[in-house]
Structure 1
């Protein structure tokens, strides 16, 4: 049954990270050190939102995953000229990924 609160989820058994995307915000969160058994139960749960709230939320450490800016985010953005003549886009409230 499709969930009204959870848009998508993925699990990496090597890192034990459960990634969850939410319908309302569109945001992705990674839940850390989730046992494979918990993921298996979540995956087969009839009501994924209820299972998530009862068994995952507030039970595992999590981190929000930064979203890449959409092309629309660059409309009207400040452009800074670098010493080499290229341009860097600065979007208010965002910093570039340094990885």
Structure 2
């Protein structure tokens, strides 16, 4: 099911960076996200809810564009 918040995402295990491209077009990198958290994010029924409840609360981020 498409997300109303997340347009696309990528995970880079060697650096533990989760890149989120929002529906708005903004791009953020979430830093030091463990593989286990990414796996749970991938499986989450609602990517937006998981992002807000888990990732945004626990991990630093930087805006890419």
TM above 0.5: yes
* Structure-2 residue corresponding to 1:10: 10
Q: Give the number of the structure whose residues are more often helix, by fraction.
A: 2
Identify the structure with bigger relative contact order (alpha carbons < 8 Å, sequence gap 6+).
2
**Structure 1 gaps, min length 5:** 67-99
* Structure-2 residue corresponding to 1:82: none
How many residue pairs get matched?
65
* Structure-2 residue corresponding to 1:44: 43
RMSD after superposition: 0.8
Q: What's the CA shift for 1:2?
A: 1.0
TM-score (norm 1): 0.64
